Amino acid sequence: MAASVCRVGSTVGRALAKTHRPILLSLRRGQASVSYAQSLLGAPETRLTTLDNGLRVASEETGHATCTVGLWISAGSRYESEKNNGAGFFLEHMAFKGTKKHPQTALEQQVESMGAHLSAYTSREHTAYYMKTLTKDLPKAVELLSEVVQSCSLNEAEIEQQRSVVLRELEEVESNLQEVCLDLLHSTAFQGTALGHSVLGPSSSARNLTRQDLVDYVNSHYKAPRMVLAAAGGVSHDELVGLAKSHFSGVSFEYEGDAVPVLSPCRFTGSEIRMRDDALPLAHIAIAVEGASAASPDIVPLMVANAIIGSYDLTYGGGKHLSSRLARLAVEDNLCHSFQAFHSSYSDTGLLGIYFVADKNNIDDMMHWSQNAWMNLCTTVTESDVARGRNALKASLVGQLNGTTPICDDIGRHILNYGRRIPLAEWDARIDAVTPKMVRDICSKYIYDKCPAVAAVGPVEQLPDYNRMRSAMYWLRF
Amino acid sequence: MKGIRGISQLSKRFYAAARKDQSLAQPLAGLSLSPRVGHSYQDVHVTRLPSGLVIASLENYSPASKIGVFIKAGCRYETPENQGVTHLLRLASGLTTKGASAFKICRGIEAVGGSLSVTSSRENMTYTVNCLRDDVDTVMEYLINVTTAPEFRPWEVSDLTPKVKVDKAQAAQSAQIGVVEGLHEAAYKNALCNSLYCPDHMINNIHSEHLHQFVQNNFTSARMALVGLGVDHTVLKQVGEQFLNIRSGAGTTGAKAQYRGGEIRLPSASSLVHSAVVSQSAAAGTSEALAFSVLQHLLGAGPHIKRGAGVASKLVQGVSKATADPFDVTAFNTSYSDSGLFGVYTISQAAAAGDVIKAALAQVKAVADGGVTAADLTRAKAQLKCHYLMSLETSEGLLEAMGSQALTDASYQSTEEISKKIDNISLTDVANAAKTFVSGKKTMASSGNLVKTPFVDEI
């Protein structure tokens, strides 16, 4: 019985192996089926309307019974000064602690009785407050969000209580070494500028920020032209615009004293910072060069380049067959526990880098091969690498839009970064335009012979001297 | 020197100027996107083939396709001789098959930007491939090879042992995984007591023959479902008829799970005590199971507001009166094809563990004694419906829902049908569910510094 089963299995296997094109293609001939290109063209459009006060309303109708709606604001730690660094994060703590119309308990009861979820996040350039709910509850959701953003009560007693919560969160984040490493990377790469600030702020801020600081922060940054009301799900754009008009028309678009905050440019400084602690089990290291700004067309080839390097961790299958050379070496020579190539982009600058977690005796080798991967991109990347990178990037862009919340987040951030939502069909066209020569040229422009910023946390004795890492940013070629 | 810096700046500016018009803030020139023809909404199609294989698909017009093979081959079907085999099977999806070598599978899938992954629960094992819509043929070939014609070459299988250890080490870092696995081990005599992870004594004792035998006995057509998102139903049917009929029949029948109720204590140095106290609830798909789900949301099934006070969660409100230290408490609810577990899961400081657990159990007793208002019930039902609908937003959630329904009753219930069933749950149903918990034989699992944690007969 078992033997016959195996034989049958092997017949099938051999049949599949012999055919040049997969056998299933013959099954589909004559079937009406939607192709990839058609599915891109038929994707729902994101509609964008601007209110009189400059507030933008954008939504995508996906046909779900649920939706995510939220406010995305151009405010974050980049807009903070040394004195009020951490105000945005503290404000996020206070956001759901009561508004003028709904004290905290009433606000929570409203949200819970709808079965909704209310959340927020603060990053360096964006702040978001959003709610996940049933589409039929959209009006109530927009009303509650408008209260949270415009009339948060900022109760003094609550502020005092939140100080200890913020301090506890600061303590907890110290044990998340990935966050620590990437924060240190920003603080050294953008030293002396606003992008060097951490989003959480220093502990002195948690202790000393006053209600007035938070009020000033809201008054200087929560202005209509810098806000986007975004929604995704089974929502009707016209209904959303109507709700926006009734709840958000009052958001101001003028600054006190006509003092419009201008973002000062954040210079990149090639430098390094090491937080050596031999008691930690693993070293967390990030190396980055200055990358492209959010709206730069170079973003697309750089993302393809990152997809070629890819990422890896111990749970990956594939082992020594993985396509990315760095991943293969990580498996074969036990170079690291995990690595990822990343690109963080801001409005006028960015960080293009590789982050890895390694044992203390493999740091030198891992750094060598990471920089080798970069040199490879600048000099010898091939057509098959780029084809794989293009496909991986397309798949990850589609895969990220998984659910109404990521779509809504995508809409909010795109409108703030680009003034419009970039449709998948356009991403696809831009990605298809990337050639190996383009990858080599653009990577050379950003990586070759540039001073990197390096941040290292843990048992980092083996990390090479900065001058040696700087020398590995070019090859001796004549 | 100023001159040289000027030149490099000039070249950067020149380069930038040449591509300025392609900035992402401007639509790409030459790309015409109008008119947008919307696609019509499609239903989920489900077909059962004569061999017993169930095909389910939904054309959602997404640019990416997702296909899963769901098999009734979870760890409940392991025997004492091959305990841990499903853990190795999870890691063995990339191994050489009869139609494609490990190298070809890995490179072939990566070349099209796709992915192949395996997840397994106590009931089912799921092999999932993702790819862009045009590459379905390529990844489908690998999926079929992996699920029907694996070779399990002995040297490739023994190479998996370090990965098993890595998995177990990662699981050991999570107190929650330890408690849930321990809970099942203590609650059942067989089947459902098997752990998702290979036990220590079996790590070097699972060989190629065990994997082959488990696949022969469990990967049969009548226990499989082929589910797809973004694919044609007719294509899937043809694939199912031609390629997934390798092993027919129902395979070995699993044993019926026998609940026994017990206790397991996992002391550790952690100052946080994780503790779960449950009793037997109802099998999945029954109206009692739905009543338990409503009860779960009534008591509190997790935070809805970031950094919120949990005002609507009876458990949180009850426990906050018992301790001033940080804590977390939710209702625990899980159901399988022939049994289920319901209770409370608490996380507390070591010194307050006893108070927290007792306060949580008191809240459930209050529900059993009738302390639930109509408003509470409406809110719980709204939360359950939202929870279910939100899980269907993601492709993983939708595929999982379609796959598990296809396996259990070869159909797909619409969200309207499920909403109606939820609406039909009454206050008495919920109170009865709570009574079942209060009067049932308890199982308890705790981990952390257990000095002040009561035993199951003390709560």
What is the per-residue pLDDT for A258?
74
β pairing state of B263-267 and B442-448: parallel
Task: Please state, in angstroms and rounded to a whole number, the distance separating the CA atoms of residues A235 and B182.
Answer: 44
Radius of gyration, CA atoms only, chain A = 25
Contact (Cβ atoms closer than 8 angstroms) between residue B449 and residue B354:
no
What is the per-residue pLDDT for B39?
65
Residue B153 has pLDDT above 70, yes or no: yes
Which residues of chain A are within 8 Å of residue B311 when distances are taken between CB atoms?
104-105, 108-109, 112
Mutate to test the interface with A, among B8, B14, B19, B24 (most CBs of A within 10 A): B24
pLDDT digits (tens, 9 = 90+) for A190-241: 999 999 999 999 999 999 999 999 999 999 999 999 999 999 999 999 999 9
Span A447-468, mean pLDDT?
98
> With respect to CATH, is domain A44-249 assigned 3.30.830.10?
yes
Superfamily of domain A271-472: Metalloenzyme, LuxS/M16 peptidase-like (3.30.830.10)
Q: Share the mean pLDDT of chain A.
A: 91
Contact (Cβ atoms closer than 8 angstroms) between residue B418 and residue A163:
no
Which residues of chain A are within 8 Å of residue B99 when distances are taken between CB atoms?
12-17
What is the per-residue pLDDT for A263?
85
Span B378-398, mean pLDDT?
96
A113 or A10, which is more confident: A113
What is the per-residue pLDDT for B166?
94
Mutate to test the interface with B, among A14, A16, A119, A324 (most CBs of B within 10 A): A16
Q: Which residues contact A168 (CB under 8 A, 6 or more apart)?
A: none
* Partner A contacted by B10 (CB < 8 A): no
Which residues of chain B are within 8 Å of residue A426 when distances are taken between CB atoms?
27-28, 31, 33
What is the per-residue pLDDT for B349?
95
β pairing state of A453-458 and A272-276: parallel
CA nearest B388: which of B424, B413, B408, B407?
B413
Q: Where do the structural domains in chain A lie, given as residue ranges?
A: 44-249, 271-472
Q: Cβ of B387 and A317 within 8 Å?
A: no
Q: Read off the amino acid at residue A199.
A: V
Mutate to test the interface with B, among A11, A34, A304 (most CBs of B within 10 A): A34
pLDDT digits (tens, 9 = 90+) for A277-293: 999 999 999 999 999 99
CA nearest A205: which of A81, A75, A79?
A81
What is the per-residue pLDDT for B38?
60
What is the per-residue pLDDT for B253?
82
Is residue A261 very low, low, confident or very high in pLDDT (cuts 50, 70, 90)? confident
Which residues of chain B are within 8 Å of residue A295 when distances are taken between CB atoms?
23-25
- Domain A44-249 matches domain A271-472 at the CATH topology level: yes
Q: Cβ of B102 and A321 within 8 Å?
A: yes
Task: Please state, in angstroms and rounded to a whole number, the distance separating the CA atoms of residues B394 and A405.
Answer: 10
Q: Cβ of B106 and A318 within 8 Å?
A: yes
Q: Among the ranges B19-23, B244-248, B432-436, which has the highest mean pLDDT value? A: B432-436
Task: Give the Cα-Cα-Cα angle B108, B111, B114 (nearest 5 degrees).
Answer: 85
Q: Which residues contact B427 (CB under 8 A, 6 or more apart)?
A: B372, B374, B377
Residue B20 has pLDDT above 70, yes or no: no
pLDDT digits (tens, 9 = 90+) for A429-449: 999 999 999 999 999 999 999
Span A166-171, mean pLDDT?
95
What is the per-residue pLDDT for A31?
45
A-chain residue closest to B393, CA distance: A403
Is residue B330 very low, low, confident or very high in pLDDT (cuts 50, 70, 90)? very high
B317 or B30, which is more confident: B317
Contact (Cβ atoms closer than 8 angstroms) between residue A78 and residue A266:
yes
* Partner A contacted by B391 (CB < 8 A): no
pLDDT digits (tens, 9 = 90+) for A83-93: 999 999 999 99
Half-sphere exposure of A36 (CA within 13 A, CB side): 16
Q: Cβ of B59 and A34 within 8 Å?
A: yes
Q: From residue B10, give the alpha-carbon distance in Å to each of A267, A442, B4, B7, B15.
A: 18, 16, 10, 5, 8
Contact (Cβ atoms closer than 8 angstroms) between residue A44 and residue A408:
no
B-chain residue closest to A98, CA distance: B308
Span B284-301, mean pLDDT?
95
For every residue of chain B, which 3-state class applies, written as one string? CHHHHHHHHHHHHHHHHHCHHHCCCCCCCCCCCCCCCCCCCCCCEEEECCCCCEEEEECCCCCEEEEEEEECCCHHHCCCCCCCHHHHHHHHHHCCECCCCHHHHHHHHHHCCCEEEEEECCCCEEEEEEEEHHHHHHHHHHHHHHHHCECCCHHHHHCCHHHHHHHHHHHHCCHHHHHHHHHHHHHECCHHHCCCCCCHHHCCCCCHHHHHHHHHHHCCHHHEEEEEECCCHHHHHHHHHHHCCCCCCCCCCCCCCCECCCEEEEECCCCEEEEEEEEECCCCCCHHHHHHHHHHHHHCCCCCECCCCCCCCHHHHHHHCCCCCCCEEEEEEEECCCCEEEEEEEEEEHHHHHHHHHHHHHHHHHHHCCCCCHHHHHHHHHHHHHHHHHHCCCHHHHHHHHHHHHHHHCCCCCHHHHHHHHHCCCHHHHHHHHHHHHHCCEEEEEEECHHHCCCHHHC
Which residues of chain A are within 8 Å of residue B135 when distances are taken between CB atoms?
391
Q: Cβ of A36 and B63 within 8 Å?
A: yes
Is residue A16 very low, low, confident or very high in pLDDT (cuts 50, 70, 90)? very low
Residue B175 has pLDDT above 70, yes or no: yes
Residue A66 has pLDDT above 50, yes or no: yes
Cβ-count burial of A341 within 10 angstroms (0-12 exposed, 13-18 middle, 19+ buried)? buried
CA nearest A343: which of A404, A386, A300?
A300
Task: Please state, in angstroms and rounded to a whole number, the distance separating the CA atoms of residues B221 and B73.
Answer: 12
Which residues of chain B are within 8 Å of residue A24 when distances are taken between CB atoms?
136-137, 140-141, 235, 238-239
What is the per-residue pLDDT for A42?
87
A-chain residue closest to B216, CA distance: A2
Tokens matching residue A21: 């094109």
Helix, strand or coil, per DSSP, at residue A355: strand
* Partner A contacted by B49 (CB < 8 A): no
Residue B159 has pLDDT above 50, yes or no: yes
How many interchain CB pairs under 8 A, A with B?
262
Q: How many residues does chain B have?
A: 459
What is the per-residue pLDDT for A22?
45
Q: Cβ of B110 and A388 within 8 Å?
A: yes
Q: Can you tell me the ipTM of this complex?
A: 0.92
Kind and range of the H or E run holding A12: helix A2-18
Return phi, psi of residue A120, to 5°: -155, 160
Task: Please state, in angstroms and rounded to a whole number, the distance separating the CA atoms of residues A222 and A231.
Answer: 19
Residue B45 has pLDDT above 60, yes or no: yes
Would residue A233 be called left, alpha or beta, if left means φ above 0 and alpha means ψ between -120 and 50 degrees? left
Per DSSP, A196 falls in state G
What is the per-residue pLDDT for A406?
97
CA distance A23 to chain B (A): 8
Strand partners, B47: B55
Residue A276 has pLDDT above 50, yes or no: yes
- pLDDT above 70: percentage of residues in chain B: 94
> What burial letters (b/e) apply to B245-279, b meaning 16+ CB within 10 Å?
bbbeeebeebeebebebbbbbeeeeeebbbbbbbb
Give the residue numbers of A annotated as catalytic, written as ranges.
92
Q: Cβ of B243 and A12 within 8 Å?
A: yes
What is the per-residue pLDDT for A23?
45
pLDDT digits (tens, 9 = 90+) for B124-150: 999 999 999 999 999 999 999 999 999
* Partner A contacted by B390 (CB < 8 A): yes
Q: Select the residue of B91, B163, B382 nearest A114 (Cβ to Cβ).
A: B382
What is the per-residue pLDDT for B34?
59
Which residues of chain B are within 8 Å of residue A117 when distances are taken between CB atoms?
304-305, 390
B-chain residue closest to A300, CA distance: B24
What is the per-residue pLDDT for A18?
38
What is the per-residue pLDDT for A7?
37
What is the per-residue pLDDT for B37?
57
CA nearest A441: which of A360, A381, A351?
A381
Kind and range of the H or E run holding A290: strand A283-290
Span A300-326, mean pLDDT?
95
What is the per-residue pLDDT for A32?
54
Span A115-119, mean pLDDT?
96
Task: Please state, in angstroms and rounded to a whole number, the distance separating the CA atoms of residues A114 and A470.
Answer: 56
Span A423-427, mean pLDDT?
95
A-chain residue closest to B382, CA distance: A115
Contact (Cβ atoms closer than 8 angstroms) between residue B116 and residue B127:
yes
Q: Cβ of B379 and A115 within 8 Å?
A: yes
Span B196-219, mean pLDDT?
95
